[in-house]
Amino acid sequence: MVRPIGFLAGLAFVAILLFSMITGAVSFITDPPAATAEHEYHLHPKELQLASDGPLGRFDRQQLQRGFQVYKEVCSACHSLRLVAFRDLRDIGFNEGEVKAIAHNWSTEVPSINPSTGEPATRKATPADKFPSPYANEVAGRAANNNALPPDLSLMTKSRHEGAAYVYSLLTGFAEQPAALVKAFPDSKTPQGLHYNPYFANLNIAMPPPLVADGQVTYSDGTKSTVDQMSKDVAAFLVWTAEPKLEARHRGGMGVLIFLLIATTLGYMAYRNVWADVKH
């Protein structure tokens, strides 16, 4: 019974699928999908090499500190970093006093209550606090940005394909919209208030170019702060905010791998030894 019923069921599935396939193929030929501006003009992120790449990668702390400076002086005006605490900055080479000072002098204060009246208030940040959001809430963020909420940056390099390269490409990718694009796709002209950027999924991003001039940030380590350099540095910094345990992972992985290679070699020798007198 199983085989005849199965045979009929199989025929039914095959018939339906091939019919669907032919239907799809016919409409694909007679009515091919129209080309879109996104498909034609969207660019893959540029090549970016960072010290943290590869199985032995370590963070370049000097670069992370520069990236942090860019975040502090430019990005933090609009973007939160809500999963990272000031105390975490110890990991990228700031000492306790510096972390305290950074928290204390942060441009946004932390929501709090007035200890005597219980009224809502704000206070200076401490190392134990997460980075405060530049906006009190989502509505305030949208209201200040033409209804486009600036995303949190904590996990940015893990929440986009090729995250670090994407951040770097996006920051350096602002350009005039190509005339050929507007000619071929008149409906895709960059709307008022948006900015053309071929690395952004739909080509038009609400964020205005944040890094516009060389020297916008003054690095204390003497590195020349070109737009390209600042973009690289902030991308490197955001790799750290998204994956702060990367070095422990790489280091631990090497140790585990060496142990496993030795153990597996011994395991193989034990196996050969046990089976030495058996034909198989």
* Least distance from other proteins to the Cβ atom of residue 207, Å: 17
Q: Which of residues 177-216 bind other proteins (CB under 8 A)?
A: 201
CA distance 11 to 109: 69
* Least distance from other proteins to the Cβ atom of residue 75, Å: 18
* Least distance from other proteins to the Cβ atom of residue 72, Å: 20
CA distance 109 to 97: 19
207 secondary structure, DSSP code: S
CA distance 213 to 226: 7
Under the binding rule (CB under 8 A), the answer on residue 53 touching other proteins is no
Q: How far is CA 66 from CA 101, 107, 188, 219, in A?
A: 17, 18, 37, 7
Q: Which is nearer to other proteins, 104 or 245 (CB)?
A: 245
From the CA atom positions of the chain, what is the Rg in Å? 27
CA distance 28 to 11: 25
* Least distance from other proteins to the Cβ atom of residue 252, Å: 6
Q: Which of residues 122-181 bind other proteins (CB under 8 A)?
A: 154-155, 158-161, 163
Contact residues: other proteins, CB under 8 A: 2-3, 6-7, 9-11, 13-14, 16-21, 23-25, 28, 33, 55, 83, 88, 154-155, 158-161, 163, 201, 242, 244-245, 248-250, 252-254, 256-257, 260-261, 263-264, 267-268, 270-271, 273-275, 278-280
